[in-house]
Amino acid sequence: MNNNQFFLRALFTIALSISFVACGDDDDGVTDTGTSDAGDTGTADAADTNPADSGTDATDAGDAGTDAGVDAGPILPTSALLTTSDFSTAEIYAIDLATNAVTGPLAADDQDIIAGALAGDALLLERGLGNVKLQAAGDPLTTRATINLDPAGMMGSYLSNPLTVVQSGDDRAYVALGARSELTIINPVDGSVTGTVDLTSLASDLDEDPNVDVTGAVLHDGRLYVGLGRFFFDAAFAIQFTAGAVIAVVDAETGELIDIDSSTDGVQGIELEGENPWRGMTVVGEQLWVGSAGDSFMLDGGIEAIDLATNQSVGVALTEETLSAELNGFTVTGDDRVLVLAGDNIVAWTPSSGEVSAPIISEVSGMHATGQDIFVWGAGGLRRFTADGEDVTPAEGYAVGDLPVYSAAIF
């Protein structure tokens, strides 16, 4: 990859994060939209712990396989951790959701930083610097451990690009790295690195750069499902999907890749119809739902369903053409109700009928749905709505400065 291609990839990664900082993969029946979060949708949200979450959340605290509408009910959040950024300055804030008290700002070391939560405690993903920061219990602005995941001896930005953390046990969590074609296994108790999962066996000769382009991950039934975009930029700097996107399947206990087609040579993943599976993943019943962005300059993405019994796609259930907007994340909030971040609007999608509502909430870059409330953020700061779209933000608002809210973890 030449310098121009590397620079374009970095810009492309940042652009996707801005539009999707809160979307993720989590496991409590609630989904975030916006970041690499397991329950957030919209931006580069780092960590949520809701099983029906979809988007790009940075943290997944458990099995995302809880069927929508049949779990014991959402765990109501008590805290929020926000990052704000204009990519020249960044700040971090903590909010007590019971009192609406805001603590901060804390100056950030990285201007591309994703907030998340792991087992009820906050974390920060410094994407440019390659750090996972585990925050102190009960004190989300204090770092108790910093784990650097950049290659030893190398200098530069976005050398590892941590996107999502998925926890599979008290002392075991997987960090998805967008720039290294691997997962790093960490111990969130002591902040140590305990292993890696090499994903290069799922590379394709049709992909003209060596990176498999990890986009996110979700845990279900002892297996980690990892999105691989396998795209590259051509000489005109246009994104190309010649190789096709796949889902890698990893045994969460051993860290071993699972070959889902033993009749074919090599290790095989689940082939997707959609491209660039950046907009979140969540398990609904016996299906894995995958949000694909495609080309950010075209309406070619959508939400695709994977049959987990056969490990095959059953097709794209909701397209960007139907939405008339870019898919920026989604979250399952009931048996037949999905909140979708379409462009900067939240709409309700009814999968059984295919009906898409008029916008419920507008001017949104990321969201986190708790089952009771919807938290949204963006240039207008952090706002709180009921499930029906009634604005219940405190009259005084949340005092988080003048910078746009870039990511949020609600936990």
| CA distances in angstroms from 210 to 235, 243, 266, listed in the order given | 16, 12, 17
Each residue's pLDDT tens digit, 242-273: 999 999 999 999 999 999 998 888 899 999 99
- What's the gap between Cα 3 and its chain centre? 27
Instruction: Assess whether pLDDT exceeds 70 at residue 341.
Output: yes
Distance CA 207, CA 122 (A): 36
Using an 8 Å Cβ cutoff, are 12 and 5 in contact?
A: no
Instruction: Assess whether pLDDT exceeds 80 at residue 220.
Output: yes
- In this structure, the strands spanning 59-60 and 162-169 are parallel
Distance CA 63, CA 221 (A): 6
* Residue in 172, 201, 200 with CA at minimum distance from that of residue 187: 172
| CA distances in angstroms from 343 to 47, 123, 154, 258, listed in the order given | 22, 27, 37, 35
Instruction: Assess whether pLDDT exceeds 70 at residue 146.
Output: yes
- Percent with pLDDT over 90 in the chain: 73
Using an 8 Å Cβ cutoff, are 319 and 330 in contact?
A: no
Each residue's pLDDT tens digit, 42-61: 443 333 322 233 333 455 43
Strand order in the sheet with 345-350: 327-334, 337-342, 345-350, 355-356
Give mean pLDDT, residues 368-373: 85
DSSP 296: T
Task: Give the DSSP per-residue string, 238-293.
Answer: -EE-TT--EEEEEETTT--B--S-TTSSS---EE-SSS---S-EEEETTEEEEEE-
Using an 8 Å Cβ cutoff, are 228 and 269 in contact?
A: yes
Model confidence band, residue 1 (pLDDT cutoffs 50, 70, 90): very low
In CATH terms, the fold of domain 3-410 is Methylamine Dehydrogenase; Chain H (2.130.10)
Q: Where are the domains of the chain?
A: 3-410
Distance CA 298, CA 275 (A): 12
Q: How high does pLDDT run on average in the chain?
A: 84
| CA distances in angstroms from 172 to 167, 168, 186, listed in the order given | 6, 6, 6
Using an 8 Å Cβ cutoff, are 382 and 394 in contact?
A: no
DSSP 325: S
* Residue in 117, 123, 116 with CA at minimum distance from that of residue 147: 123
| 326 CB-near residues (< 8 Å, 6+ apart) | 19, 293, 296, 299, 301, 320, 342, 343
Please tell me which residue, 294 or 9, carries the higher pLDDT value. 294
- What's the gap between Cα 224 and its chain centre? 14
| CA distances in angstroms from 114 to 21, 129, 149, 301, 394, listed in the order given | 7, 12, 15, 24, 24
Lowest mean pLDDT among 49-63, 75-89, 134-148, 295-309: 49-63
Each residue's pLDDT tens digit, 372-397: 899 999 888 999 999 888 999 999 99
Say how many residues make up the chain.
411
Please tell me which residue, 314 or 42, carries the higher pLDDT value. 314
Task: Give the DSSP per-residue string, 150-217.
Answer: SPTT--SSSSS-EEEEEEEETTEEEEEETTTTEEEEEETTTTEEEEEEE-GGG--TTSSSS---EEEE
Beta bridge pairs of residue 90: 85
Lowest mean pLDDT among 28-32, 121-125, 206-210: 28-32
Instruction: Assess whether pLDDT exceeds 60 at residue 41.
Output: no
Give the other-Cβ count within 10 Å of 73's Cβ: 9
